[in-house]
Amino acid sequence: MERLEDSMRARVWMPALARPRVIVPWLAVAFASPGAIAAEPATFRHEAPVVVEQRGTFVRLPVPASALARSRQPGLADLRLVDARGDRVPFAWLAPRGPAAPATESTRAAALYALPARRQGEAEPAGPLEVQVIGDRITVRRIGAPAAAGATGQIAPMAAPAPGWLFDLGEPVRDEAPATALRLAWTGPAEFSAGYELAVSDDLRQWRAAGGGQLLSLASAHVASGHLAQPDVPLPPVATSRPAARFVRLRWLDPAGAPRLSAAVQVRPVPGAVAIDPPTTLVLPPAADGAAGGSAAVAPAAPSSAIAQGALVFDLGAVLPLVEVDLQLDAAPRVAPVRVQGRAQAGEPWRDLGQTVFYRLTRGEAVDRSPPLALHASVRHLRLVPDPRSGPLPAVPLRVHVQLPSLVFAAQGEAPYRLLVGSADAAPGALPIASLVPRLDDERPRLGRAVLGEWKENEAVARDEAWRQRLAAWRPALLWAVLLAGVAGLGAMVWRLARRGVG
């Protein structure tokens, strides 16, 4: 009888949370994973109407970057397409039609000659070459002693820096594409930044202005080659009504700081197949200070966080596949050697993607801009890190070309259609393209066209996700509370038993 009374008193002293029928549910909540709290079908937080602009048995829908930003799974695995009744509509991913083989380039040597110094009162000195035209053939003869060698690139010593250079691209070759650039080599100095202006001619008598640009070479410990260089001189596009000019004249804006050229090659593109699905263009403003995670996780090549001073950070809104980037400099003259870095999400280390020199120069009314930088990477954040010797970058937009995905769906079910996205537990819903469209090449010209409307958020799903996040934040506290309550209950029981033993 005494033992029964002691047991009853121990239960009275035991805290309520220590009782098994109370503590077990709390333990279940504390230890449960977010996905196991409610065994419900997959829910999607965002939806947008699909507007069919051109009907077809199969319809193509380009997926905008806003869909990737709202996705909760890699590769848009949580994307669904449903009709007006909510029934699923089969779809497949459509790969962009790009070049069958990547574009390459061919090179051929160009003869180069140092220009003579301009005499006082002389508008343009006579060049080192004389041209003789016989029928359709042009004969080039060097005047006087050679100041520079031809295609071999062997340059004779000169007493003073050349004010410029003359390049002979040679006789055109049948079925050969026009040269798009001259790639120069030099013997010194090791570091320089030299502006130039270009002119082109067919006969060394009549010259046409062809813009200008910037050559640059800077020592850099952050690239494998040890220096950052811009050796290419872009040539003007060739009009279809006339052949490409044979002669190119480059005149330095400041000969004293210009490099000593040793060789030149003309660069011609060798394209692959024509890209039928062009990339999408995005214009991004620079992110606010600290918006991309500060100076944490600098790339391993950077010796200190000071390398990121004056850098620009851009947020693409989602992890997107890059094609090329171009900094939109709005003031001239401006030369900005940069390293381009990227990462998939905030907190990750920055990794180097490439290097280039962005510039914007004016020659009278003409404006010369640097070509875009080609990139092949998938990132969300981009960072442009300037060379410390060139100063901080101006807060200007970045033009980005990205290759966004497209999907093809069978126009079945009841229109209108809706696109759903934003589920952490949805299974992948896309079919293989060969299963959905058996003869894709034949069907491509007949594909319909659709666009995506405005996004709408499912408020019930948003509230449920907010509750799950709060529960996940409180889970450690609940766990400790349950454990402490259990320990307190066991301590009370031990204390009661110890008192009974003493009594």
Alpha-carbon distance 181 to 237, whole Å?
10
Residues 323 and 346: beta-carbon distance below 8 Å: no
Q: Is the pLDDT of residue 83 over 90?
A: yes
Specify the CATH number of the domain 280-402.
Answer: 2.60.120
Residue 296 predicted with pLDDT over 70: no
For CA atoms 444, 445, 448, 454, the dihedral sign is: positive
Name which of 118-122, 198-202, 392-396, 482-486 the model is least confident about.
118-122
**What pTM did the predictor assign?**
0.60
Which H or E run contains 491? helix 459-502
Q: Please determine, for residue 237, whether its predicted confidence score (pLDDT) is greater than 80.
A: yes
Rounded-to-integer distance, Cα 329 and Cα 309, Å: 18
Token couple for 292: 């991309």
Helix, strand, coil percent values for the chain (each to nearest 5) = 20, 35, 40
188/371 Cα distance (integer angstroms)? 25
Q: Which residues contact 195 (CB under 8 A, 6 or more apart)?
A: 212, 213, 214, 252, 253, 254, 333, 361
pLDDT at residue 132, rounded to an integer: 56
Beta bridge partners of 382: 314, 342
Q: Output the pLDDT for position 274.
A: 52
Q: Other CB atoms closer than 10 Å to residue 362's CB: what's the count?
A: 13
State the average pLDDT for the chain. 77
pLDDT digits 0-9 by tens, 148-162: 444 444 444 455 678
In CATH, the number for domain 104-270 is 2.60.120
| Res. 499: pLDDT tops 50 | yes
The confidence score (pLDDT) of residue 327 equals 93
